[in-house]
């Protein structure tokens, strides 16, 4: 299982904060936003980059919790943000300080979730994620492309600072 899990985890790391094949990584995208831009929910879907960042952190927290079990609960801790449907919710405090503080949490939970994925064995992956009633193996495969999907969603929200002249 090691090679396959490393391949998935390497891709997830690149989409999260590395050199993504799909364009700018999630953290490079979020880091280019101020609090007001991140909190704006005027996209055609009604989401804000902030609510998407909370959703992504929540999903990784769920996977980390499922893989780490009781022994990892101390390091992971309780989820610190409001839990709307699927982890999406409006920013509880849309200040620049809150946005800056939020950006550290996805990094921490990403490291825990991806580290747990790298160490997972076949018996771990056969367990069910209680929150979603899905086997961990399906959840892990889905999660490793999740950041790339939502990074594209954020970049297509119409934020002016993301508009770049295309060279053809």
30 close to 103: Cβ distance less than 8 angstroms: yes
Q: What is the largest CA-CA distance in the chain?
A: 53
Share of the chain above pLDDT 70, in %: 94
Task: Give the mean pLDDT of the chain.
Answer: 86
Is pTM, for the whole model, over 0.85?
A: yes
CATH architecture of structural domain 2-162: Up-down Bundle (1.20)
Residue 64 has pLDDT above 80, yes or no: yes
Q: E strands within 29-143? A: 128-129, 134-135
Does residue 47 have a pLDDT over 90? Answer: no
Residue ranges per structural domain of the chain: 2-162
Backbone angles phi, psi at 163, to 5 degrees: -75, 120
Side-chain half-sphere exposure of 69, counting CA atoms within 13 A: 8
Which two three-digit tokens encode residue 111?
């490291």
139 is written with which tokens? 């959840």
Asked if 82 and 107 count as a contact pair (C-beta separation under 8 A), the reply is: no
Tokens of 34: 């101020």
Which has the higher per-residue pLDDT, 97 or 86? 97
Which pLDDT belongs to residue 5?
77
Token duo for residue 22: 């799909």
| Residue 117 pLDDT > 60 | yes
Question: How confident is the model at residue 27, as a pLDDT?
Answer: 94
């Amino acid at each position: 299982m090691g090679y396959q899990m490393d391949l998935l985890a390497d891709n997830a790391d690149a989409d999260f904060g590395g050199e993504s094949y799909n364009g700018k990584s999630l953290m490079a995208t979020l880091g280019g936003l101020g609090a007001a831009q991140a909190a704006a929910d005027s996209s055609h879907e009604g989401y804000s980059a902030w609510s998407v960042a909370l959703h992504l952190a929540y999903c990784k927290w769920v996977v980390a919790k499922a893989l780490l079990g009781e022994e990892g609960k101390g390091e992971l801790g309780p989820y610190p943000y409001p839990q709307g449907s699927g982890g999406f919710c409006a920013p509880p405090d849309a200040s620049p300080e809150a946005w800056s503080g939020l950006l550290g949490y996805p990094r921490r939970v990403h490291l825990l979730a991806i580290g747990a994925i790298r160490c997972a064995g076949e018996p771990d992956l056969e367990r069910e994620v209680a929150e979603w009633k899905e086997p961990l193996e399906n959840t892990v495969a889905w999660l490793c492309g999740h950041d790339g999907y939502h990074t594209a969603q954020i970049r297509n929200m119409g934020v002016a600072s993301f508009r770049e002249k295309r060279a053809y």
